[in-house]
């Protein structure tokens, strides 16, 4: 199949794609796409992939993620960047002070568009919010939430884990949208 284009400026998303889309011929076009205001990540991902297609005129993929905190009625949902820019990790942890229910999840939508057909693949990664900011910086992270997100079945935040620990960590009830896309795309050959 022809090469597809992943239009993103997020280094962590690029690192994830390189790892999880093995067997898919893709290149990266570094560009920050405009993101519509919505809490529907499927809509945002569709909008972005269609904008990307207009930009490069080749089959494209786009990933959009949200973060749902159960105790906060799902906040910040698709407004992760806004929440991080305004509240920061400290503000999110302040909202979670003295809360017993620390359940949360990353939800993601990976969209493919070839100019005619739109295909979307949903992913989810459940976990808990730590009580403090923990871990080290890495070029593999795609969100500062890595410092407070402990994946289900694990004891460390993603930012505390080594590359090997992140690679081999238990993934309880996790579905990776990039892997789902790669399976579908490779079967199209």
Which candidate in 64, 70, 152, 163 is catalytic?
64
Give the count of beta carbons closer than 10 Å to the beta carbon of residue 162.
Answer: 11
pLDDT for the residue numbered 163: 85
Domain that holds residue 138: 4-187
pLDDT for the residue numbered 21: 87
Half-sphere exposure of 138 (CA within 13 A, CB side): 23
CATH number at residue 9: 3.90.950.10
Number of domains in the chain: 1
| Cα–Cα distance measured from residue 41 to residue 15, given in angstroms and rounded to the nearest whole number | 21
Contact assessment for residue 174 and residue 166, using Cβ atoms and an 8 Å cutoff: no
pLDDT by position in tens, the chain (length 189): 578 999 888 887 888 888 888 888 888 888 888 888 898 999 999 999 999 999 999 999 999 999 999 999 999 999 998 999 999 999 999 999 999 999 999 999 999 999 999 999 999 999 999 999 999 888 778 889 999 999 999 999 999 999 888 888 877 889 999 999 999 999 986
> Catalytic residue at 64?
yes
Determine which helix (DSSP H) or strand (DSSP E) holds 28, and give its type and residue range.
strand 26-29
pLDDT for the residue numbered 1: 55
């Amino acid at each position: 199949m022809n090469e597809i284009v992943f239009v993103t400026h997020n280094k962590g998303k690029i690192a994830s794609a390189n790892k999880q889309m093995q067997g898919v011929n893709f290149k990266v076009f570094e560009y920050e796409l405009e993101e519509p205001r919505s809490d529907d990540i499927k809509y945002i991902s569709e909008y972005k992939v269609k904008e990307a297609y207009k930009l490069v005129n080749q089959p494209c993929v786009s990933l959009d993620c949200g973060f749902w905190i159960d105790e906060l009625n799902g906040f910040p949902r698709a407004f992760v960047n806004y929440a991080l820019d305004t509240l920061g990790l400290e503000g999110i942890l302040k909202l979670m002070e003295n809360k017993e229910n620390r359940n949360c999840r990353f939800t993601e939508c990976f969209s493919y568009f070839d100019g005619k057909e739109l295909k979307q693949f949903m992913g989810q990664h459940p976990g808990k919010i730590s009580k403090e900011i923990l871990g080290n910086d890495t070029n593999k992270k795609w969100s500062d939430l890595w410092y407070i997100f402990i994946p289900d079945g694990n004891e460390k935040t993603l930012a505390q884990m080594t590359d090997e620990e992140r690679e081999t960590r238990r993934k309880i009830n996790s579905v990776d949208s990039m892997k789902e896309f790669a399976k579908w795309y490779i079967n199209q050959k």
